[in-house]
Structure 1
Amino acid sequence: MAALGSPAGRCLAPVLHRAAYAAMGLDDWSHEAVACDEATLPGLLGSFGTYWAGATLAVPLPRAVLPLLDEVSELAMDVGGADTVVVRHGRSVGEHTGAHGIMSAIHQAGLTAPGSAVVLGGGAAACSALAALREVGVREPVVVVRERDHALEVEAAAGRLGVSVELRHVDELGRLLRGVPVVVSTLPAGAADALAPTVARSGAAVLDAVCSAWPTRLAKAAGFAGSTVVDGLTMRLHRTVRQIELLTGWAGVGELPFAAMRAAALDELARREARSAEPAGSGGKLM
């Protein structure tokens, strides 16, 4: 299997998948990073042989892959992206697993029926958040953005998912958080720093999609305030388990490989952080 993205080296999926396969005894399964952008995606998909079980895809490929597939699941179509391609009997099937990761994180935070939620950000990850929140009964989430133009993607996804999104400007966040039990931040590392005090004062549980540079300022502030915090790596782990179920047909993977996957991911993230901290011209390389 392959993890498609550009640049390929940033992808964490191969680390997670390989750790899971080892823990599950699937010694003949592999997952390798393959450099791929929107221009090279059609040719790469066409080159998949019978030995391919499928691939995982990084943004923006999940949207670009939709018209190239033989079949697309209803959830992937509604969210607007297939982050996993499964090859079944010679046919390519697009699936979406990001929402599963967020929904599982919501349950892990003890919020089986939160009633309401605020989503920070309006991109592809926010679309996944809407699908996850719908599954736990939140049909009218508030989506907070800095520019309305940044929320066109999430507005379109909301319509397909059958949820009613209330779009609000970030300056209104304090008022919007009153009584809200959960905040899902889909913002990249650092983008939510200025919002951390406001979110922390609300007392809401925080799901922060950031995997690296952890803990974020948002996570620290919420944790100091006594709120439940779920990190982005946990969401990635749940998402990966769903991908493995789809790709291998191994039903009920459950939490079996979680410890091995988390340990491997933390080691890899630590190596990347150490590499980024190397002085220029030090000559050290991490392969």
Structure 2
Amino acid sequence: MRCAVLGDPITHSLSPALHRAGYAAAGLTGWSYDAVRVPAGGVRGFVEALDATWRGLSVTAPLKREVLVLATEVTERARLAGAANTLVIGPEGRLADNTDLPGAVAAVRERYAGPVTSATVLGAGATAASTGLALVELGARSVTLLARSPERAAETAAVIAAHPSAPRVRVGSLALDPVVGEVVVSTVPAQAQTEDLVARCGAAAVVFEALYAPWPTPLSRSAADRALVGGLDLLVHQAALQFTMFTGLPAPLEQMRAAGEQALAERSAR
């Protein structure tokens, strides 16, 4: 059976290392997992050309919203997020799901057992939407989105506000506004993490850095005395859910995590 991760760019992806390690640990010798560059607008052509040997796709930027329309069934969490990072392919059709949302919940709870009543998300793209929803699932009654262009954050704000628990969502300026709540999630590039922004994140009990490369980021370096959730944590937990959806088997989480850590270490040594 064949699986792959799609996106553009895609050469940086750790997903092949994680999934291949999972296949090896589970003894799935007939399974393969590759990284395929598919630019915006190209996912329909790619998916519709697949044959019966394909079982699943991981989907990353800029395709997470585009892939939804290709599914014959969409899970409630993918519908809620307005984006899918997973497409399960079978004879009965294509199932679109979003494992970023439960993966983010699991990643936070692995590092932090305290309350989440409010939180701030830096950025306003698809990852901001799914992690914002995860914060609501963890108990946040209010979520603040800080964006470089606040006027572009309306769609993400609407996605989070549509959660059945009806959280309050406020949009502010990444350059100016305060960071509030127990958790701060960064979905912005490392170069956008200015000294001032990092300082404004100093009161959060949990720093959730959605990036895994480059590592460490300015924000992650500031979290030495606080709970730190990294992009690899998120990647491993969402990939483990995908692994089970694709194969029907429990995910070998620790072997997948170890493969991700090794791949990152090899990159940093180059």
Query: In the alignment, does 2:235 pair up with 1:236?
Result: yes
Partner SS state of residue 152, structure 2: helix
Distance of 2:114 and 2:49 partners within structure 1? 43
Structure richer in helix, relative to its length: 1
Give the secondary structure class of the aligned counterpart of 1:222: coil
Larger-Rg structure: 1
Give SS of 2:105's match.
helix
Task: Give unmatched runs, 5+ long, in structure 1.
Answer: 276-287
Q: Which residue of 2 aligns with 1:262?
A: 257
Question: Superposed, which structure 2 residues align to 1:242-281 within 5 Å?
Answer: 242-250=241-249, 252-253=250-251, 256-258=252-254, 260-273=255-268
Rounded to whole Å, the distance in 2 between the matches of 1:188 and 1:229 is 17
Paired residue secondary structure (1:3): strand
TM-score (norm 2): 0.90
User: Which one-letter code corresponds to 1:213 in the other structure?
Assistant: P
| Secondary structure of residue in 2 paired with 1:167 | strand
Give the alignment partner of residue 20 of structure 1, picking from 22, 29, 39: 22
| 2:210 matches 1:215 | no
Query: 1:143/1:73 Cα in 2 relative to 1: closer, same or farther (>3 Å)?
Result: same
Query: CA shift at 1:172, angstroms?
Result: 4.8
Q: CA RMSD in A?
A: 1.9
Provide the residue aligned with 1:280 in structure 2: none
Give the one of 157, 164, 169 matched to 2:168: 164
Q: Could you tell me how far 1:263 is from its partner in structure 2?
A: 2.9
| Shift in Å, 1:234 | 0.9
Q: What is the CA deviation profile of residues 99-158 of structure 1, one whole-angstrom value per residue up to 9, with x for unaligned ones?
A: 122111221222353111111111111101122112112132111123212312312312
The corresponding residue for 1:100 is: 102
Tell me the distance in 2 between the aligned counterparts of 1:140 and 1:21.
40
Q: Residues 241-270 of structure 1, C-alpha deviation per residue, up to 9 Å, x if partnerless?
A: 1111111122x43xx332x22332233334
TM-score, normalising length from structure 1?
0.85
In the alignment, residue 170 of structure 1 is paired with which amino acid? L
Deviations for 1:16-57, whole angstroms, at most 9, x for unmatched residues? 110111122222221111221233311211122222111111
Q: Distance in 2 between matches of 1:181 and 1:137?
A: 11
Deviation per residue, 1:71-112 (Å, 9 max, x gap)? 111211111111100013340110101112211122122235
Distance in 1 separating the partners of 2:92 and 2:39: 23
Query: Would you say how many aligned residue pairs link Structure 1 and Structure 2?
Result: 265
